[in-house]
Amino acid sequence: MYFGARYYDAKISNWISTDPALIEYLPTSDNLFFPSEVFIPQKLLKGMGGVYNSRNINVYHYAGQNPVKYYDPNGKILDTLLDAAFIVYDLGVLAVDEIKTGGANRTTNLTALGMDVAFTLIPGATGGGMMVRASVKTAEHVAEKSAVKAGEKTVLHHSEPMFMGGAKKQPLTKLGESEHKQLHKELNQFLETKKDAYGNSMHSKRGNSGATIQQNFTGKERKEAMAEFYKGDGAKFTEAAKDFFSQNPALK
């Protein structure tokens, strides 16, 4: 049954659509920041305390689940509470990503945030940011699968090689076997050109071990060389490049 703002299922004696309003239950600059009065939710927010009243967090309730004592004349209480929670989550994810990776997932995070903000304007709609993230994950999974030839084995690749000083427990990039071989071929050719004043190269080979390379070149020099590779010819190895720069955001 439709009651003008929400649908009700008489068989289960419950609302089956969420309460369409929240904004009146949230503290704002008008009711939260004032110099001479203590903030009292029950006094300043509707619904006997707004979001500070736990009963209002149930988006399928009506009148605090006590319709004998209370009533809701216009059907507006709460679905935007979930939108607000998703927005807070989006801001947290965005901040953590900026700090840890320098914004490796900034586009996705901003899109998710924008979608959740937009959903606050659509009654009954929520979780837009999660939809964005799910679609991005799906697209990445499809791209990863399509990058691997049919029937080809996959291997796990260190985007920052251990012989160059990369961490042993770094995130590993899944690559098709042929792509992995091609990456190492081109990387070795590139590192052969990176030499010190004595003609020593960064190419790991017989007589030039990882320990020797790390002795001849500083950590900064090695990382800068890898960044140069992934920004140049190595940029086509998109997943490996992405993983390298997620670990070294300052080198983007």
Average of per-residue pLDDT values in the chain: 77
Contact 156, 174 (CB under 8 A): yes
Number of helices and strands in the chain (H, E): 10, 4
Structure confidence at residue 67 (pLDDT): 63
250 vs 151, residue with greater confidence: 250
Residues belonging to the chain: 252
* Spatial separation of the C-alpha atoms in residues 12 and 35, rounded to whole Å: 48
* Spatial separation of the C-alpha atoms in residues 83 and 66, rounded to whole Å: 25
Structure confidence at residue 93 (pLDDT): 87
Lowest mean pLDDT across 25-29, 56-60, 102-106, 164-168: 56-60
Domain map (residue ranges) of the chain? 8-78, 81-147, 154-251
Strand partners, 15: 8
Lowest mean pLDDT across 20-24, 218-222, 243-247: 20-24
Nearest to 123 by CA among 222, 19, 213, 231: 19
Lowest mean pLDDT across 152-156, 189-193, 201-205, 215-219: 152-156
* Spatial separation of the C-alpha atoms in residues 15 and 77, rounded to whole Å: 13
pLDDT digits (tens, 9 = 90+) for 34-55: 444 555 555 556 555 666 666 6
Structure confidence at residue 252 (pLDDT): 84
Contact 45, 27 (CB under 8 A): yes
Residue 154 burial (C-beta neighbours within 10 Å; 0-12, 13-18, 19+): middle
Residue 4 burial (C-beta neighbours within 10 Å; 0-12, 13-18, 19+): exposed
Structure confidence at residue 35 (pLDDT): 46
Nearest to 62 by CA among 51, 80, 74, 52: 74
* DSSP helix/strand/coil, 248: coil
Residues 6 or more apart whose CB falls under 8 angstroms from that of 108 comprise 132, 133, 136
* DSSP helix/strand/coil, 2: strand
pLDDT digits (tens, 9 = 90+) for 54-102: 666 555 555 666 666 655 555 554 445 566 777 888 888 888 888 877 7
Q: Which residues of 45-61 are buried (b: 16+ CB within 10 A; e: fewer)?
A: bebebbbbbeebebbeb
Neighbours of 198 (CB within 10 A): 6
The percentage of residues in the chain with a pLDDT greater than 90, rounded to a whole number, is: 32
Q: What is the mean pLDDT of residues 13-37?
A: 58
